[in-house]
Amino acid sequence: MLKELKDTKREDKKELKTEIRELREKLLAQQQLIRSSALPVIVLVEGWAAAGKGSMINELISEIDPRFYNVTSPAAAQAEDRYPFLYPYAKAIPENGKIMFYDSGWMEGAVRKYLRREITKKEYKEILRSVNEFERQLRDGGYLLIKLFLHIGQEEQRQRLATLRENYETQWRVTTEDIWQHNEYKLFCETYDSFMEETNELIAWHVLNGEDKRGAVRDALKILVKTIDKGLEEGKYIGKPFKEEFPLLKMPKLAEIDLSPVIEEEEYKTELKKLQTRLGQLHNTIYRKKIPVVLCYEGWDAAGKGGNIRRVARPLDPRGFDVVPISSPEPHELNRQYLWRFWTRLPRSGHVCIFDRTWYGRVMVERLEGFCKEDDWKRAYNEINEFERQLTDWGAVVLKFWIQIDQDTQLARFTDRQNTPEKQWKLTEEDWRNREKWPQYEEAVDEMLQKTSTENAPWFIIESNDKKYARIKTLKIIIKALEEACESRL
């Protein structure tokens, strides 16, 4: 894609100025339509060091009301190195009706990491895949994505870097990384090129000639105006469900689960103590080896999630874990792709994050209550598989627990809660309403378990008619998985 730049013929300056002014006016008019149709727009501004990414963004935003756009520089946030590759980019996605400019985006992030040898070729390939998944998920979630690359030749770059370094006020802008890029121009060029080729199919890249600054602004404005026009015309896109090959584990139906297992009080106490001690030791190793751990709890109301989580959390160092309770999304969460509120809650590497309810709400409550379209929840199975693979690619241990009870046990526990003053807060009208929809939920849960139990992020059905049995079983699963992870990592 990055052909050599030829001397562009000088365009008529006045004509170019008029053209830019007209395009800006169009963009200004579009801004209100973007807002009123709640369309979220992402503009990636990638390109060479000193190609003028900053000035380009400045030109693009000059007429837009500052309330409707933001600029993010994810690369600047080094603290985010302890998160999955996509984390800083996912965290910055705009709300509906707003434009976010990325200066720069995931290409720059991936290419630098790769060329700096911070990641292996294999990891780089995984990132490429995850980028394609991420872009598709954004598009399918109604995001308009525009990808620009600002291209300049090596000689032009040399001159610009030299000029920047000559001036005291601007010399700090030239980093050693920039110099390195300049010296390795050819290597970078090939890598950018192949990155763009591998991420061009779904959402095409636009290479702009950065040597002609005004021309590049005009071209970028044209692309923005055209793409946004098309997006507004076609209305918010809702992606269709798609098939993807994930190695799925065979799961039983909930109805087939034998809920009779119990544990004796004496055995429970001994086991609990032993397992908690072991988990406490493992937490140390996990912390030291920087292994991220994501534990997901789903299950019927009153199944015993809270007590189970408490037993798992008990031996953990409180500095190294978080319990994240998930309830209905707030407005700023509803205004973004549905996985956003989970991306932003991920643990740092070496930490344990326990989700009390999870992203699986998409294919349960949101499906059944009609909070999203049919295509949305049907698409979600694969999107979630991809999301979880991105977590395990990062190195996370991802374990998912379905805490299972039968209807009689639930009724008994509801009744107990109703009759025990200090437990009444746990029981809401909604719990009773959900109970009435047990068959529909069971169907949804069965489908979810079939479609999302992957080798890398498996589901475990935990029989919880006897809560103590459930706790011991959960602890054993966690310990086994963590032992394996600790053994296999440096």
| Site residues (vs a copy of itself, CB under 8 A) | 29, 32, 35-36, 54, 57-58, 61-63, 65-67, 70-71, 73, 76-79, 101, 103, 169-170, 172, 281, 284-285, 288, 306, 309-310, 313-314, 316-319, 322-323, 325, 330-332, 354, 356, 422, 425
Sign for the pseudo-dihedral over CA of 271, 272, 275, 277: negative
Spatial distance between the Cα atoms of 258 and 462, rounded to a whole number of angstroms = 10
Nearest approach, Cβ of residue 257 and a copy of itself (Å)? 26
What's the closest the beta carbon of residue 290 comes to a copy of itself, in angstroms? 11
Give the rounded distance of the alpha carbon of 263 from its chain centre: 40
Given a contact cutoff of 8 angstroms between Cβ atoms, the answer to whether 238 and 136 are in contact is no
| Beta strand pairing call for 293-299 and 99-102 | unpaired
Q: Which two tokens stand for residue 385?
A: 């598989």
Q: Supply the minimum distance, in Å, between the C-beta of residue 27 and a copy of itself.
A: 13
Cβ atoms 166, 108 nearer than 8 A: no
d(CA 302, CA 214): 64
The tokens for 443 are 């169907």
Question: Least distance (Å) from a copy of itself to the CB of residue 320?
Answer: 9
Return the number of the residue (309 or 461) whose C-beta is nearest a copy of itself: 309
Environment class of 169 (CB within 10 Å of its CB; exposed 0-12, middle 13-18, buried 19+): exposed
Q: Which is nearer to a copy of itself, 35 or 125 (CB)?
A: 35
Identify which of residues 281 and 456 has a Cβ nearer to a copy of itself in the complex: 281
Which residues are within 8 A (CB) of 115 and not within 5 positions of it... i.e. 6 or more apart?
184, 187, 188, 191
* Distance separating alpha carbons of residues 378 and 240, to the nearest angstrom: 8
Least spacing, CB of residue 87 vs a copy of itself, in Å: 13
Least Å from the CB of residue 177 to a copy of itself? 15
Both structure tokens of 426: 């746990």
In the complex with a copy of itself, the residue whose CB is nearer, 284 or 440, is 284
Give pairs for 443-447: CB < 8 Å, separation 24+. 444/363, 444/364, 444/367, 444/368, 445/254, 445/298, 445/364, 445/402, 446/253, 446/254, 447/363
One-letter amino acid for residue 472 of the chain = I
Which lies closer to a copy of itself via its Cβ, residue 49 or residue 316?
Answer: 316
- For the chain, give the number of residues: 490
- Residue 118, both tokens: 């911070």
Give whichever of 255 and 490 is closer to a copy of itself, judged by the CB atom.
490
For the bound state, the minimum distance from the C-beta of residue 71 to a copy of itself, rounded and expressed in Å, comes to 4
Shortest distance (Å) from residue 289 CB to a copy of itself: 10
Question: Shortest gap between Cβ of 125 and a copy of itself (angstroms)?
Answer: 29
Distance CA 298, CA 305 (A): 7
Nearest CB to a copy of itself, comparing residues 318 and 370: 318
Which of 143/355 has CB closer to a copy of itself? 355
- Which residues, 6 or more positions from 162, have their beta carbon under 8 angstroms from its beta carbon? none
Question: Which H/E stretch holds residue 341?
Answer: helix 340-343
Preceding peptide of 55 cis, ω within 30°: no
- Residue 97 CB, nearest distance to a copy of itself (Å)? 11
- In the complex with a copy of itself, the residue whose CB is nearer, 52 or 239, is 52
Closest CB to a copy of itself among residues 360, 387: 360
Among the listed residues 310, 353, 240, the one whose alpha carbon sits nearest the alpha carbon of residue 471:
310
Of 140 and 298, which CB lies nearer to a copy of itself in the complex structure? 298
Cβ of residue 263: shortest distance to a copy of itself, in angstroms? 21
